[in-house]
């Protein structure tokens, strides 16, 4: 198989994450997202964590690790905490098969191993970014009056590893989910009203 054709198939496979729904929201009762949306959130959270981290780190490794952290779900699906009690998935095999016959296979597998084993700072930050992205979604559901979101947040907070992540989560939990646009909207609405009245 030609390499470009293999990469084309890999791109179609990764695009499937846009249609694979995260399954944990069924237990929460509200909310929802697909795996691709979650992966974007993890990458963005990892970037923010890298900005507040004072230790030196490899950002390229961090971003690649965040990008592939759930890529195997194209083949194994999304197992939530309840599913994992009863099911085991061959995540490494899924990645081996997905990246077979590509020059980046060994890099992807090495990044996945580092992430799963929390071997370095980058892996720990991606681990925490994964949790923070969930906490962002849970905070939104809490602000929208889901009575179970707070319990999930408390559970998720216990899984954080880095001090940077713990500090960022404190700020997240003090912030209303809609404050970024409400503040902007009302500020600009007041300016518009002042212009009309002058």
Contact 42, 129 (CB under 8 A): yes
The total number of structural domains that make up the chain:
1
Predicted TM-score of the model (pTM): 0.91
Q: Write the Ramachandran bin of 33: left for phi over 0, alpha for psi from -120 to 50, otherwise beta.
A: beta
- Looking up residue 52, the CATH number of its domain turns out to be 1.10.3210.10
pLDDT at 183: 86
Task: Kindly list the distances between the CA atom of residue 11 and the CA atoms of 63, 68, 74, 98, 142, in Å, as whole numbers in the listed order.
Answer: 17, 13, 11, 10, 35
Residue 198, SS3? coil
Scanning the chain, the segments in alpha helix (DSSP H) are: 3-15, 25-28, 35-52, 59-68, 73-76, 81-86, 91-98, 105-116, 121-143, 149-157, 163-174, 179-197
How does pLDDT run across 58-69, given as a tens digit for each residue?
A: 999 999 999 999
Contact 101, 88 (CB under 8 A): no
The sign one gets for the Cα dihedral 32, 36, 40, 45 is positive
- The pLDDT of 124-145, averaged and rounded, is 98
How does pLDDT run across 10-64, given as a tens digit for each residue?
A: 999 999 999 999 999 999 999 999 999 999 999 999 999 999 999 999 999 999 9
Torsion of CA 124, 53, 157, 169, to 10 degrees: -150
Domain containing 158 equals 3-197
Q: Sorting pLDDT into bands at 50, 70 and 90, what band is 196? A: low
């Amino acid at each position: 198989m030609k390499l470009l054709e293999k990469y084309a198939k890999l791109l179609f496979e990764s695009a499937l994450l846009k249609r694979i729904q995260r399954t944990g929201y069924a237990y929460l009762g509200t909310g929802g997202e697909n795996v691709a949306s979650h992966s974007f959130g993890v990458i963005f959270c990892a970037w923010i964590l890298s900005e507040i981290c004072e230790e030196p780190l490899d950002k390229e490794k961090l971003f690649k690790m965040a990008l592939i952290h759930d890529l195997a779900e194209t083949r194994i699906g999304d197992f939530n905490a309840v599913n994992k009690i009863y099911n085991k998935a061959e995540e490494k095999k899924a990645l081996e098969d997905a990246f077979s016959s590509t020059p980046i296979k060994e890099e992807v597998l090495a990044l996945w191993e580092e992430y799963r084993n929390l071997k370095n700072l980058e892996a720990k930050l991606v681990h925490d970014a994964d949790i923070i992205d969930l906490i962002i979604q849970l905070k939104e559901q809490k602000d929208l009056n889901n009575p179970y979101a707070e319990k999930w947040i408390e559970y998720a907070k216990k899984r954080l590893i880095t001090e940077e992540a713990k500090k960022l989560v404190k700020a997240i939990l003090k912030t209303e989910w809609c404050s970024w646009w409400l503040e902007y909207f009302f500020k600009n609405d007041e300016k518009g009203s002042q212009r009309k009245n002058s």
